[in-house]
């Protein structure tokens, strides 16, 4: 039986298909303004990529910021649960998860059976999220996907004293005016955001092995900065951004009548 998960985030929409222990495929697109249309598009494109039809999918679970808008899903599940289940499905050795998404960041602790044991979430402030990095990339006139590589070339990271996105942006603009090196400013931005995320990890007493999920996991500079702050290595899978969608698909399979 084939099952689908759809994760509608604030910046990107993701879909995943699984069959048994196999991930058949994943796909990601920008979310845009219309969540339902984004869900239909990312799901439809993934079906085309995998040469499958909607009728061959036995169950669908939606998750993420816009999960309630996916009317063709059978049910919705929280991001915490889906990232936990998805990470454990990808690597059952995982005991800790750091998820940095577009509008929030989370630290999740799993037990030996892959169940969520504890979690902490930053959803009230953009600091330490993908949106924070997006704002800074615009201020620095650098492509978001290039920030990680550029920041890693820094020899002396700048010090960003404010944890507020608005005030931090003002600091960055002042640094640009003072002709500080772009790579040093970016490394400082990563360090500032990582400190916020590391605080969540310490709050839940996160345990290794730790997987980083979410779109920001593609930013090697952020991965490096978080590792420095928590003094532990992070595992980043090739489908880090789609982990929540994978977890949603796994939950869809577990909720199916034949799984009961």
Which residues face 121 on adjacent strands?
Answer: 106
Handedness of CA 258, 244, 93, 204 (dihedral sign): negative
Query: Are 156 and 68 in a shared domain?
Result: no
- Can you give the residue range of the structural domain that contains 230? 93-236
Task: Please state, as a whole number, how many other Cβ atoms lie within 10 Å of the Cβ of residue 29.
Answer: 15
Query: Are 205 and 129 in a shared domain?
Result: yes
**62-71, 145-154, 165-174, 181-190: the lowest-pLDDT one:** 165-174
Query: Are 103 and 35 in a shared domain?
Result: no
| pLDDT for the residue 126 | 64
Query: Are 187 and 70 in a shared domain?
Result: no
Read off the CATH number of the domain in which 184 is found.
3.30.420.40
Domain count, the chain: 2
Confidence of residue 109 (pLDDT cuts 50, 70, 90): very high
Residue bearing the bigger pLDDT, 168 or 69:
69
**32-36, 117-121, 131-135: the lowest-pLDDT one:** 131-135
Residue bearing the bigger pLDDT, 133 or 94:
94
Query: Are 130 and 212 in a shared domain?
Result: yes
pLDDT in tens, 17-45: 999 999 999 999 999 989 999 999 999 99
**48-62, 155-169, 189-203, 219-233: the lowest-pLDDT one:** 155-169
Which residues face 118 on adjacent strands?
Answer: 109
Query: Are 157 and 115 in a shared domain?
Result: yes
Q: CA 4 from chain center: how many Å?
A: 18
Query: Are 53 and 82 in a shared domain?
Result: yes
Query: Are 179 and 205 in a shared domain?
Result: yes
Query: Are 58 and 131 in a shared domain?
Result: no
Query: Are 97 and 87 in a shared domain?
Result: no
**28-32, 45-49, 128-132, 242-246: the lowest-pLDDT one:** 128-132
Q: What is the DSSP letter of 17?
A: E
- DSSP strand E in the chain: where? 2-8, 12-19, 22-30, 57-63, 75-76, 96-100, 105-110, 116-122, 210-213, 234-235
Confidence of residue 260 (pLDDT cuts 50, 70, 90): very low
Query: Are 111 and 219 in a shared domain?
Result: yes
Query: Are 142 and 28 in a shared domain?
Result: no
| pLDDT for the residue 258 | 65
Calpha distance 170→134 (Å, rounded): 14
Mean pLDDT over the full length of the chain: 92
Stretch 66-93: mean pLDDT: 97
| pLDDT for the residue 166 | 67
pLDDT in tens, 155-205: 899 988 766 666 777 888 889 888 899 999 999 999 988 998 999 999 999
Calpha distance 210→109 (Å, rounded): 9
| Nearest alpha-carbon partner for 227 in 250, 206, 244 | 206
- Nearest 5°: phi and psi at 17? -125, 135
Calpha distance 209→211 (Å, rounded): 7
């Amino acid at each position: 039986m084939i099952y689908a998960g759809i994760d509608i985030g604030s910046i990107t929409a993701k879909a995943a298909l699984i069959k048994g222990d196999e991930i058949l495929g994943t796909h990601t697109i920008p979310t845009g303004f219309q969540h339902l249309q984004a869900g239909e598009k990312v799901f439809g494109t993934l079906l085309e990529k995998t040469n499958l039809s909607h009728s061959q999918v036995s169950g669908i679970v939606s998750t993420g910021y816009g999960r309630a808008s996916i009317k063709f899903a059978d049910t919705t599940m929280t991001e915490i649960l889906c990232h936990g289940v998805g990470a454990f499905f990808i690597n059952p050795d995982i005991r800790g998860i750091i998820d940095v998404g577009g509008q929030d960041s989370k630290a999740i602790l799993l037990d030996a059976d892959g169940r969520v044991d504890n979690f902490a979430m930053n959803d009230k402030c953009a600091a330490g999220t993908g949106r924070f990095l997006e704002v800074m990339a615009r201020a620095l006139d650098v492509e978001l996907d290039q920030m990680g590589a550029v920041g890693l070339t820094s020899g002396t990271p700048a010090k960003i004293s404010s944890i507020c996105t608005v005030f931090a942006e003002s600091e960055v603009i002042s640094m640009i005016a003072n002709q500080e090196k772009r790579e040093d400013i970016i490394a400082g931005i990563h360090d500032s955001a990582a400190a916020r995320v590391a605080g969540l990890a310490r709050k839940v007493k996160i345990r290794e092995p730790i997987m980083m999920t979410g779109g920001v996991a593609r930013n090697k500079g952020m991965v490096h900065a978080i590792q420095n702050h928590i003094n532990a290595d992070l595992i980043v899978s090739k489908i880090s951004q789609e982990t929540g969608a994978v977890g949603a698909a796994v939950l869809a399979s577990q909720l199916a009548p034949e799984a009961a």
